[in-house]
Amino acid sequence: MRMRKLPWAEAYIAQAPVVHHEPQREQGKWKQLLNCTSLHVELGCGKGDYLITMSKRSEDGWIGVEKDINVAAIAARKYMRDEQASTQVRLIHGDAQQICDWFAEGEIDVLHLNFSDPWPKKKAHTKRLSHAAFIAAYRRVVHERGEIQMKTDNAQLFEFSILQFQEGGWYLHDISVDFRRTPHEEDAITEYEQRFLSLHQPIYRAVWRKYPYVNSDKKKR
Ligand code: SAH
């Protein structure tokens, strides 16, 4: 998401309590900080709608990562203005490439990739958040029983991601090429998703796990 420059963005980010400025210092300690047993991270969280909504529904911790300062500032402001917002939320203004500096091995329970930039040109594929290099980093920071949930409107990015995760050794746990064909109230609609739904475009969704496991195993987490 590229946005026009907001004159207030930098100063806002600098003082908003929800923004964590030294995420590397929290490595291995996020669950303590957010007082939670399950940690979700959304890479490329945009204006924050998804994580602000989802974090209200449980006691889980949520961290949004956004590299565009203007977009991150809007997310921070949206969170700060929401009187019902969960206290178990932080935002990181930074590049997902640094994920291994911020999170310890196995620290993340659920990683979310919502409507990531498709980078259509072949030369730019390394920038895709589902490129092999990113997937290798996720393997490190996602818990043994953790998972990655991805949604996109982009068929090319979806195909690419399926193959990259397959090569990276992940187990495809769930897949849909029209996720909103049936109601899924458990999963909030993101800002981009709303736009594509208004255009009647199908939403692709996949869930990968590090290892396959049956539902009853969930209790043991
Ligand atoms: N998840 C939101 C926004 C999708 S647009 C939604 O569904 O509505 C994709 C967002 O990812 C943009 O805001 C872009 O700035 C951000 N982004 C892209 N590459 C990133 C990276 N390497 N690290 C962090 N954020 C990134």
Interatomic CA distance for residues 111 and 63, integer angstroms: 10
Find the 134 Cα to ligand 1 centroid distance in Å: 14
Ligand 1 site residues (CB inside 6 A) read 1, 43-46, 65-68, 71, 95-97, 114-117, 190-193
Tally of CB atoms within 10 A around 139: 14
Q: What pLDDT, in 10s, does the model give residues 170-215?
A: 999 999 999 999 999 999 999 999 999 999 999 999 999 998 876 6
Average pLDDT of the chain is 96
* 60 part of the active site: no
Report the share of the chain in percent with pLDDT over 90: 93
- For the CA of 96, the closest atom of ligand 1 is 23
Select from 5, 40, 45 the residue to mutate for testing ligand 1; criterion: most ligand atoms less than 8 Å from CB. Answer: 45
Distance between CA atoms of residues 127 and 134, nearest Å: 9
CA torsion through residues 129, 134, 139, 143, sign: negative
